[in-house]
Structure 1
């Protein structure tokens, strides 16, 4: 297991994690779509049931990138294993500091199979819940 304290270079990251970082920077929907396993499971911090399947997970992650991935978004720490990683992030929306974790697992084909997001504090969870609801409604309305 590698931690952020042990100089991780982009080249030393597992391919799935390297591609995830590419998606976060580029917001490229094609790269994200290809990165997700067809049976990927998404665990939202505000939806009590796991969301199963590439299509719904894709919608949630694209929405989250629009809501959370502001110019202040940054990963603070990464704990990386052979087939999973924990990425701590921070961002700010409407003056509210948001701290969260992406827990990502992938298969031997370097496709994401499980994606869990956890957020704090409660004020941030409530704000993200509202913003994601608005974003997803907009996305589903426009196809």
Structure 2
């Protein structure tokens, strides 16, 4: 069984996109703070998390606290993008094997949501075009 949170922290710290293959369940669902519909499936969830590794995972990124209950966790984070302070949470749920089945990101304040939308859209587009 996978130690989900330990593995997640390592992947995030190392920005290890390939490690997501083993950590995500095939039926994983990603809930973006800026996209209105859930993104269903391992491939699209991996795309969003990979983009987040590069957009949010800068030198200022840090998890401030972690609350765990069974197969659920809420991780509060803090970072800065282009001078805008971002405060958010990752809500993670995993299956009995330890693979992430649901990943929801919430971000505040509004300026941070707008900046994140701008940066994530650019990163996803660059990844799609192979840049």
- Which range, TM-score by smaller chain? over 0.9
2:58 matched to which residue of 1?
A: 70
1:124 is the counterpart of 2:121: no
For residues 8-27 of structure 1, what are the structure 2 equivalents within 5 Å?
Answer: 15-27=3-15
Aligned residues: 130
Q: Which of 100, 115, 118 is the aligned partner of 1:112?
A: 100
Of residues 24-33 and 98-107 in structure 1, the stretch that sits farther from structure 2 once superposed is 24-33
1:85 matched to which residue of 2?
A: 73
Residues of 2 paired with 1:29 and 1:103: CA distance?
A: 19
Structure 1 stretches of 4+ with a deviation exceeding 3 A read none
1:41 matched to which residue of 2?
A: 29
> CA RMSD for the aligned pairs?
1.1
Structure 2: runs of 5 or more not aligned: none
Q: What CA deviation, in whole Å up to 9, does each residue of 1:112-134 have, x standing for no partner? A: 00000000000000000010000
